[in-house]
């Protein structure tokens, strides 16, 4: 069942609920969040909301209730001759899941003229079968390249 959800850019007064959601995103099965802190969240908000940033922080609303968020980064791809929207994080509160919110968000991104993108890109944990099936249903496929990291300390 689809919900009537709106998507908007982050406002300063969203910070408290954003912390709750980000820590929820980084928690698994009720365990303490790993690799995340209020300081990291504040730094992300600062970097994503400064004018000229290639990133965006979206808040999902159902009426007055905040039900999710997403962090998007935009970059140019030579291979695809256009901008790629990298969905860094996408979180919907547990009580609002399986109600069409994620699909509505991708429709919003697809039709939002400010995005000017040719593709979406995201990653998910390999064993998160529910997320993988959801993204495949929306048209996502596995790319032939492997995502690799070299974390600079």
What CA–CA distances, in Å, run from 104 to 2, 47, 101?
A: 8, 26, 5
User: What CATH number did the domain enclosing 11 receive?
Assistant: 3.40.630.30
pLDDT of residue 34: 78
pLDDT bracket for residue 2 (50, 70, 90):
low
Q: What integer is the mean pLDDT of 64-89? A: 96
The answer to whether position 20 is within a domain reads yes
The answer to whether position 86 is within a domain reads yes
Report how many domains make up the chain.
1
pLDDT of residue 145: 82
pLDDT of residue 29: 60
Q: pTM of this prediction?
A: 0.91
Q: Which residue has the higher pLDDT, 32 or 93?
A: 93
Contact status, residue 8 vs residue 104, Cβ threshold 8 Å: no
Domain coverage including residue 115: 6-137
The answer to whether position 125 is within a domain reads yes
pLDDT of residue 114: 83
Q: What integer is the mean pLDDT of 75-92? A: 95
């Amino acid at each position: 069942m689809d919900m009537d959800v709106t998507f908007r850019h982050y406002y300063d007064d969203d910070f408290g609920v954003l912390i709750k959601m980000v820590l929820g995103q980084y928690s698994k099965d009720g365990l303490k969040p790993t690799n995340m802190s209020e300081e990291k969240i504040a730094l992300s908000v600062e970097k994503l909301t400064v004018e000229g940033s290639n990133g965006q922080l979206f808040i999902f609303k159902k009426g007055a209730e905040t039900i999710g968020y997403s962090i998007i980064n935009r970059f140019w791809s030579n291979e695809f001759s256009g901008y790629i929207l990298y969905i860094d994080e996408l979180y919907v509160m547990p009580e609002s899941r399986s109600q069409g919110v994620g699909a509505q968000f991708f429709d919003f991104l697809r039709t939002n003229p400010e995005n000017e993108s040719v593709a979406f890109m995201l990653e998910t944990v390999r064993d998160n079968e529910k997320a993988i099936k959801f993204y495949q249903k929306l048209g996502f496929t596995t790319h032939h390249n492997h995502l690799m990291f070299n974390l600079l300390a």
